[in-house]
Amino acid sequence: MGRWALDVAFVWKAVLTLGLVLLYYCFSIGITFYNKWLTKSFHFPLFMTMLHLAVIFLFSALSRALVQCSSHRARVVLSWADYLRRVAPTALATALDVGLSNWSFLYVTVSLYTMTKSSAVLFILIFSLIFKLEELRAALVLVVLLIAGGLFMFTYKSTQFNVEGFALVLGASFIGGIRWTLTQMLLQKAELGLQNPIDTMFHLQPLMFLGLFPLFAVFEGLHLSTSEKIFRFQDTGLLLRVLGSLFLGGILAFGLGFSEFLLVSRTSSLTLSIAGIFKEVCTLLLAAHLLGDQISLLNWLGFALCLSGISLHVALKALHSRGDGGPKPLKGMGSSPDLELLLRSSQQEEGDNEEEYFVAQGQQ
């Protein structure tokens, strides 16, 4: 009887994990293809991103209110001093990362975007070394070489390579390294009480919106104000369809963060990291099959080389977390599968329940 109960529990956990992974894949892969599809007809990616931020803020505020009503415990609200001094740098870096990523969809294919964004681990490692969040080891140097070499091979003589779009994605990956280094430092400040991802999203979105607005005003403001799809619309039905499409993207962005949280809170951050690696493969296969992205054998070899570097990094993290006897890896949410790999542990107790979280920013 006991053996049967263990088998049932194992099968149930496996089915639950598979279901959560598939849910995460639906939101993560879905928002990538959705943003690419939308930018083909709606050429205002910064405005699209700002509307997504507003939707995420709305849903995170609603979630906070529901949790507060059910638990009868007030949610954290930062003072203006802490908000501007400690949260603003992270919010600005996150806004630029997400904004440039969505902007690049105007120029690059999904496959090139996916591969280049995978290089974010490279920049995270570099900035972690600069801020002394990581120690320089030979294995980390090997990870950097594998990812950099894979990125070079994937973009070398690519038939659908676009310099402007590649620069935007690479810039987003570079800023992503700063973003996640700052995020890690922010999470380690337990006195702020932002370990819960819903609270983090709630506090980040307004500053992200304000940080992205100047870029939007310069590059899209005038064109959007004269566009018949928004402000000078003549067809109400077209306007509603455009706004509905943008709102749906915001729901996908929030759903991505929430699905990541569910996956990690029910399993582990290592599960999310491994699932993220396979998600990259699925994204490239779908891009080649559905969108006709042209990927040569050399490009595939470069992608495999990059994934081997990311996989090595995940394995090193897993061994390190088991061997150092330190705190357990932080559970929670991540923004993209290659970014949650470096965030360290932090624990917070609320009443009798222990909550461990990763920060998330919907992304996109």
Does the structure show a pLDDT above 70 at 270?
Answer: no
Q: How does residue 249 score in pLDDT terms, banded at 50, 70 and 90?
A: very high
What secondary structure letter does DSSP report for 362?
Answer: T
Angle between helices 236-266 and 197-216 (to 10 degrees): 140
pLDDT in the model for residue 187: 67
The predicted structure's pLDDT at residue 362? 39
d(CA 235, CA 135): 59
Mean pLDDT (whole number) for 2-9: 70
Q: Which residue has the tokens 């940080």?
A: 211
Is residue 245's pLDDT more than 80? yes
Whether 208 shows a pLDDT value over 80: the answer reads: yes
From the list 207, 191, 183, 196, the residue with the least C-alpha distance to 64 is 196
Question: Does residue 198 carry a pLDDT above 60?
Answer: yes
Q: Is 80 exceeded by the pLDDT of residue 314?
A: no
Give the pLDDT band (50/70/90) at residue 101.
very high
**pLDDT for 230:** 81
pLDDT band at 351 (very low <50, low <70, confident <90, very high): very low
Contacts by 313-318, CB closer than 8 A, 24 or more apart: 313/121, 313/125, 313/140, 313/143, 313/341, 314/270, 314/273, 314/274, 314/277, 314/341, 316/139, 316/140, 316/143, 317/270, 317/273, 317/341, 317/342, 318/270
pLDDT band at 127 (very low <50, low <70, confident <90, very high): confident
Please report, for residues 154, 186, 192, 232, the alpha-carbon distance to residue 204 in angstroms, rounded to integers and kept in the order given.
34, 12, 13, 31
Section 280-291 average pLDDT: 85
Work out the average pLDDT over 157-167. 79
* pLDDT beyond 60 at 32: yes
What confidence score (pLDDT) does residue 51 get? 94
Candidates 84, 67, 85; CA nearest to 75 is 67
**pLDDT band, residue 61 (cuts 50/70/90):** very high
Lowest model confidence (mean pLDDT) among 102-106, 186-190, 230-234: 186-190
Supply the pLDDT for residue 268: 62
Q: Is the pLDDT of residue 222 over 70?
A: yes
Report the C-alpha gap between 285 and 18 in whole angstroms: 20
What the block records as the tokens of 220 is: 């899209």
> Does 328 have pLDDT greater than 50?
no
Given a cut of 90, is residue 121 above it in pLDDT?
A: no
Average of pLDDT values for 308-329? Answer: 66
- pLDDT greater than 50 at residue 340: no
When pLDDT is averaged across residues 194-203 and rounded to a whole number, the result is 80
Between 215 and 281, the more confident residue is: 215
Q: Is the pLDDT of residue 210 over 90?
A: yes
Q: Where are the domains of the chain?
A: 46-322
* pLDDT at 151 (0 to 100): 78
Query: pLDDT per residue over 38-58, tens digit each?
Result: 999 899 999 999 999 999 999
Q: Rounded to whole angstroms, how far apart are CA atoms 221 and 25? A: 34
Task: Output the pLDDT for position 361.
Answer: 38
Whether the Cβ atoms of residue 283 and residue 29 lie closer than 8 Å to each other? yes
**pLDDT score of 191:** 72
Residue 334: what pLDDT? 38
Pairing label, strands 348-350, 353-355: antiparallel
Residue 329 has pLDDT above 60, yes or no: no
How large a percentage of the chain has pLDDT more than 70? 80
Q: How far, in Å, CA of 19 to CA of 36, rounded?
A: 26
Average pLDDT over the chain, rounded to an integer = 79
- Give the separation between CA 9 and CA 5, rounded to whole angstroms: 6
pLDDT of residue 345: 35
